[in-house]
Amino acid sequence: MGLTLSLGLHNCGLNPQKMKENAEKEGQIFVQRLGFTLISCTGNDSDRNNYVSCTFKDKNGQLVEGECAYDPSVNTGCKLKNSYNYQPLPSPETPQ
């Protein structure tokens, strides 16, 4: 019961489809700044870090793995993965 409760609170009631949609919105913003293409995001936060896995295509057509936030009440943005660590990019400035 404790595990079920903690998982339910962690996702703040977002279902996998909504998590995917939210992450892909973040991904679209992210790729515009890099000149990449968003391929897709999952709807599963497997490591419970408030990001879901996403796949991008870089300017050379190479696939790049990353993660995008899915719950805007917790965090926003995306970050790329490499073999050593994550390389987060700063969030774009919010227009005033």
- pLDDT digits 0-9 by tens, 38-94: 999 999 999 999 999 999 998 888 888 999 999 999 999 999 987 434 445 555 554
Give the whole-angstrom CA distance, residue 37 versus residue 1.
41
Q: What residue segments make up the domains of the chain, in order of their start?
A: 13-84
β-bridge mates for residue 86, sequence order = 81
- The fold of 13-84 is TATA-Binding Protein (3.30.310)
Largest CA distance in the chain: 48
Q: Are 56 and 37 in contact (CB under 8 A)?
A: yes
Which tokens in the block code for residue 5? Answer: 């409760």
pTM over 0.85: no
Residues present in the chain in total: 96
Q: Are 9 and 36 in contact (CB under 8 A)?
A: no
Q: Determine phi and psi for 40, rounding to 5 degrees.
A: -170, 165
Q: For 6-21, what is the mean pLDDT?
A: 72
